[in-house]
Amino acid sequence: MQRLELDDLKRILRECAGEDEGVDLDGDVLDLSWFELGYDSLAVLQTTGYIEREYDVLLDEEGLDDADTPRRYLAMVNEMLAARAAV
């Protein structure tokens, strides 16, 4: 089963939206909000579009509202990937 790991998410975030100067994505970022990491909703949408294409999965737009940290976002993506693999 394919999974999205934190290192993958950080790489994709950097590619899609860059990295705020005041934020170290290599630090403990799992429970920081997107806002604290310097990302707005457009950056998250760009990242989501990339992940949907790269991982061939359709993510739940309503679930994105609850995925306000990298930990929650990874859980949502990996839940969708697991559901797809189970079919």
pLDDT value, residue 21: 75
Contact call for residues 59 and 51 (beta carbons, < 8 A)? yes
Q: What is the pLDDT of residues 22-80, one digit of tens each?
A: 778 888 999 999 999 999 999 999 999 999 999 999 998 888 889 999 999 999 999 99
pLDDT value, residue 1: 63
Q: Which of 12-16, 19-23, 58-62 has the lowest mean pLDDT?
A: 19-23
Contact call for residues 2 and 51 (beta carbons, < 8 A)? no
Q: Alpha-carbon distance 62 to 65, whole Å?
A: 6
> Beta-carbon neighbour count of residue 32 at 10 Å?
18
With 0.85 as the threshold, say if the pTM is over it.
yes
